[in-house]
Amino acid sequence: MEHSEIKNLLSPYLDGELGETEVRALEDHLSQCAECAARLDALKALDGSVQMTRLKTPPEGYFEFFPAKLRARIRSEGRAFRSIQRVEARLARVRVGATVFVVLMAFGIGVIYGQRGLPVKRPRFSPIPLASRQPALGHVVRDRADVSEEEELESTDLVGSRISKEPAGAAEEIEVREKRGEPRVVPGDVTEAVKVAASPDAYDESRSAREEDAEGVTGGWAAPSGLEIAGEKKGEAADPEEVYTVANLAQLQRDYDKAIDGYARVVETSPGTELAAGAQFQINVLKAAVDTRDAAETLRESAEMWEEYIGSYPRSDLVPTACDFYTQALYSIAQKTQAKPDVENAIRAIEDCSSRLKDKSPTGFQDKLKELKKYLDS
Amino acid sequence: MGSYDEVSDSHLAELASSGELEAFDELVRRYHRKVYALASNMLKDHDAADDICQEAFMRAYRALGRFRKGASFYTWIYRIATNLCLNYLRDRKRLVRMEEAPAAALSLSDSQEDCAERGELIEKVNEALEAIHPKYRIALLLRVNEGLSYAEISEVLGIPKGTVMSRISRARESLKSLLE
């Protein structure tokens, strides 16, 4: 065996990893070669030095307490897993709720959009034209006795109102709108109304029109005081139309609870009227909105929970999942409110998680950031 | 937990995966010191070594369902811990010295002068160990300090036996030239 070959075998020889033949050949060589024998001794001494660096002095009680500490972490992670399942279930509910809300709002907006341009004396901002002023809701609710059971099933809309297929005056309305180049919406036709309202242009136009209306008409006149003006404060019986108007204002100011309160008073004080039917419709729509607002609260709770989890277990395998839930919750909130602090908060969270996850960041992060930054710019 | 004394590692792993936490505790008791020794030798920092131990056992716990029947639990846990150590070193790119380490390694019977000399030597060896590539260092530490065979190291590191041999040889050569 060559001297150079022997040199390479010294390390495995020291570790007892050579076969019998190799050991014999190497030991023969070592008995004749002082250089290799010295080299082997040096390697043995080196191993001794390495062994001296062994550190086995953790703080007192460390080994004794470790199993309990680990068990606590296993339990906490078990809870976190269950939380994920809960949050997933919640988010699924939120998604269903949000879908219902969007459809309901789209329907409402569709009706509004379909009605735009029709003669409205006042209030010009009313999302559902007042029954006493025009027949907008006249075709929505009919006397039960007039509707066959089959017809009733076919025409029951999402909020439980019954809608007739061919409302009186529909053909004339369509003709008027077509002349103006407006979308073809048959009053009472939910499918078409939703389709039209769901188009981004229709939605944006309708929303901005409503916001302008709200600003122009309310001019700082807060809905709660409006409700008072409507009669409550004076201790007089409030005019249902006035209450409807004020509730409408509250709705435009996104004070949904006040708006529901106002509409409920209309339903209570003028039962069986078209105005009450309109108010009931608004209540249904607004309740869906309130559910969504509550869902936003759930999202906030969820975001807080995941933020805490990431902070507590920064090295856990669940961190990418936690980051995903955390950023998704804040992103959803920002999308809903588009309020600067919420948008900034979501951006910050996504950036933090990106730097934490690095190349493991979900690809959707960049798209979300882009969209959020657009909100800020606008 | 005396009742588990005679139970094999793979049976304990099986029991733990079916939800028997005490069986997992026993596995932790059996291998925690070894995993800690490896991590603290690699990282020279108690807190980091503790983090590695926790994470290694947590990962093992989560993956118990996938643990191959008849496989060696200790090479598996070493493998997890080793990868975590290498990741840690790659991420942090620095080592935090465990200040009390040299003193702790000294024997009480040594004279003060010997202690000082040995302390210096340990310091030098630590510096040299830190200077060599972590891939070589871990192979050497698994062999010299943990007493694993080449076959076991091969399983822990997921590399062929021949590569284990050459990494350990290179680690020794590098250390030797750094200390000369």
Per-residue pLDDT 10s for chain B (180 aa) are 457 888 888 888 888 888 788 888 899 999 999 899 889 888 888 888 999 999 999 989 888 877 777 778 888 899 899 989 888 887 765 444 444 444 333 333 445 566 667 777 888 888 888 888 888 998 998 899 888 889 888 888 888 888 999 999 999 999 988 888
Is there a contact between A47 and B104 if contact means CB atoms under 8 Å apart? no
Predicted local distance difference test score (pLDDT) of residue A96 = 56
pLDDT at B122: 80
Question: Which of A301, A347, A306 has the alpha carbon at shortest distance from A324?
Answer: A306
Query: Ranked by mean pLDDT, which of A229-233, A243-247, B42-46 comes out on top?
Result: B42-46
Give A144 or A348, the one with higher predicted confidence.
Answer: A348
Dihedral sign for Cα A244, A246, A247, A253, please: positive
Cβ atoms of B5 and B53 within 8 Å: the answer is no
Biggest distance spanned by C-alpha atoms of chain B: 56
A311 by Cβ neighbours in 10 Å (0-12 / 13-18 / 19+) ranks as exposed
ipTM confidence: 0.71
The predicted model gives A325-347 an average pLDDT of 85
Q: pLDDT tens, A170-196?
A: 455 555 555 555 444 333 333 333 333
**Which of A36, A47, A54, A55 would you mutate first to test chain B, the one with the most B CBs within 10 A?**
A55
Binary contact (B37, A54; C-beta < 8 A): yes
Residue A15 has what pLDDT? 92
Number of Cβ pairs < 8 A linking chain A and chain B = 112
What is the rounded end-to-end Cα distance, in angstroms, of chain A?
Answer: 80
Which residues, 6+ apart, have CB-to-CB distance to B101 below 8 Å? Answer: A53, A55, A57, B44, B122, B126
- The answer to whether the beta carbons of residues B26 and B1 sit under 8 Å apart is yes
Q: What does the pLDDT read at residue B158?
A: 84
Minimal CA separation from B145 to chain A, in Å: 6
Residues of B in contact with A315 (CB under 8 A): 51, 55
CB contact (8 A) between residue B37 and residue A56: yes
Give the minimum alpha-carbon distance from B164 to chain A in angstroms, rounded to a whole number: 10
A28 touches chain B (CB under 8 A): no
Task: Assess B121–A contact: CB distance below 8 Å, yes or no.
Answer: yes
Listed residue (A87, A89, A100) closest to A291, CA to CA: A100
Across the interface, which of A52, A57, A73 has its CB nearest the CB of B122? A52
- Angle (CA) B154 B159 B164, round 5°: 60
3-class secondary-structure state, position A97 = helix
Which chain B residues are Cβ-neighbours of A69 within 8 angstroms? 54
Task: Spell out the residues 6+ positions from residue A313 whose beta carbon is closer than 8 angstroms to its own.
Answer: A73, A77, A319
Least confident span in A221-225, A238-242, A299-303, B159-163? A221-225
DSSP conformation letters of B123-176: HHHHHHHHHS-HHHHHHHHHHHTT---HHHHHHHHTS-HHHHHHHHHHHHHHHH
Q: How far is B28 from chain A (nearest CA, A)?
A: 7
Query: Regarding predicted confidence, which is higher, A184 or A349?
Result: A349
The neighbouring-strand residues paired with A162 are A156
Chain A 286-325, CB below 8 Å of chain B: which residues?
315-317
On the question of pLDDT at A8 being above 80, the answer is yes
Please indicate if any CB of chain A lies within 8 Å of the CB of B145.
Answer: yes
Q: What is the pTM of this model?
A: 0.41
Q: Which pLDDT tens digit goes with each residue over A18-66? A: 988 889 988 888 888 888 889 899 898 888 888 888 765 777 778 888 8
Indicate the residue of A12, A57, A71 with minimum beta-carbon distance to B104. Answer: A57
Q: Given an 8 Å threshold on Cβ–Cβ distance, is A55 in contact with B62?
A: no
Mean pLDDT in residue range A214-220: 35
Contact criterion met (CB < 8 Å) for B54 and A69? yes
CA end-to-end distance (rounded Å), chain B: 49
Q: How buried is A316 (Cβ within 10 angstroms: 0-12 exposed, 13-18 middle, 19+ buried)? A: buried
Q: What percent of chain A has pLDDT over 70?
A: 53
Q: Which residue pairs from A354-357 have beta carbons closer than 8 angstroms and sit at least 24 positions apart in sequence?
A: A356/A310, A356/A314, A356/A319, A356/A323, A357/A319, A357/A320, A357/A323
Model pLDDT for residues A107-119, shown as the tens digit of each residue: 444 444 444 333 3
Query: What's the Cα-to-Cα distance from A71 to each of A63, A311, B40, rounded to whole Å?
Result: 13, 19, 22
A174-183, A203-212, A251-260: lowest mean pLDDT where? A203-212
Q: Which residue, among B135, B139, B125, B35, has the nearest Cα to A12 in the 3D structure?
A: B139
Average pLDDT over chain A, rounded to an integer: 65
